[in-house]
Amino acid sequence: MIRRNLTLFQIDNFLNGFWPLSAVAIIYFEAIAHSYTEAMLIFSIINIVQSICEIPTGVLSDKIGRKYSMVATSILIFAGYMFWAIAGDIQNVWLLYVGAVLVGCGQAFVSGTDDAFVYETIKELGETCHFDKVYSRNKSFDELGLAVSAILATIVFYFSSINVLAWISVVPVMLRILVALFYVEPKCVSRPKENAWKHFVKSLTLIMRRPKLIKFSLVKSFNYSFNAANWRFVGAYYETLIAPWLINVVRIVQEFMGFVGYGLVHFIKRRDAKKILFLSTLINALIKMLGIAINTVVTPFIMVSSTLCYGISSTVENTLLQQQLTDRQRATMGSVISLFAGFLSVLVFMATGIIADYGSARIAVLLLIFMRIVVAFAYKRILSK
């Protein structure tokens, strides 16, 4: 019966990616807040709240189980998207902030829980050796959802308005609530009996006893922060080169490349994972750097072609991480790691907005990409030891 989770994971990931507002969210927020700094503040609030809630939700996930954590995730994000849609209609920036708090709390529930849920499901099926394959397949559906939503967004944005996109974005999250209700809770992992504080301390202690895990987690956190800031903000840079509705066309190409990238994981899984992580991260950044150097209407399309490498690096990165976590504290340990990443990303988000307001969107994106090159060599140094 638990095998149906594998299908539900794919549906859930598709709906998670199906956010029509995604490619132009920064433009939508800026139109309401009238500042890139304030627009990036929305994303910063999401990460601040997510960081604050990481530990309690991670512990709660280990205690109440993955299914109900996934249900809570969908309900909170649904409420957040509703506030964002209403904010566009009445031009109220405070509703954007309220929505950001709800989305951040929802993302805290899923952070660490989703990967743990997948790992525990395939462990009960006796197929842990296929984690990378299952993970990449799930993420490919996320990319597919983004691609399909980008097609819809292109049509709606061209013939209607960005506010309509905000309302359409509410529907997929509502469907995710229904999907989550059909999940089957894994039985192979016993839930911790100790109180939440002791469980957290135990998870933190386990991490602190593993120097390599600490270093890997730090670099992963920096990688997440720079990549997330680029993902959220790059639409503002594209707007300086192409028409706003064309940004969604660029996103279609990007998600198609990501879908193919995750599909390629199956063919390289027997290669040296450490070398693959370094090369895929580096090549991803260099392709984007080339696009920015050209700085013409073809730049967005050059930059998104790098997503082919992202699917590979993301899968390898998470596979290496999961191999270092313990079963009973898997979600909590993941949340402890995400806690640092969340606070770090807030600083990167705000810095990106300030640089764009006082410099330019191009400079902001350029700096983010340069830092990912630094991350690639940091990975190489850590994993070579």
CATH code at 100? 1.20.1250.20
What domain range is 38 assigned to? 4-383
Can you read off the two tokens belonging to residue 176?
């995710």
Q: Is the Cβ–Cβ distance between 355 and 49 less than 8 Å?
A: no
pLDDT digits (tens, 9 = 90+) for 73-113: 899 999 999 999 999 989 899 999 999 999 998 888 776 67
pLDDT digits (tens, 9 = 90+) for 45-60: 998 888 788 767 766 7
What is the predicted pLDDT for the residue at 172? 92
Q: Is the Cβ–Cβ distance between 378 and 268 less than 8 Å?
A: no
Residue 238: pLDDT band (50, 70, 90) is very high
Mean pLDDT confidence for 10-37: 86
For the chain, how are helix, strand and coil distributed in percent, rounded to 5?
A: 85, 0, 15
pLDDT digits (tens, 9 = 90+) for 316-373: 887 777 666 655 555 556 666 777 787 888 889 889 989 998 899 999 999 999 999 9
pLDDT at 129 over 90: no
Domain count, the chain: 1
What is the rounded distance in angstroms from the CA atom of residue 377 to the CA atom of residue 278? 7
> Which residue in this structure is represented by tokens 């990036």?
40
Within 8 A by CB and 6+ apart from 129, the residues are: none
pLDDT at 40 over 90: no
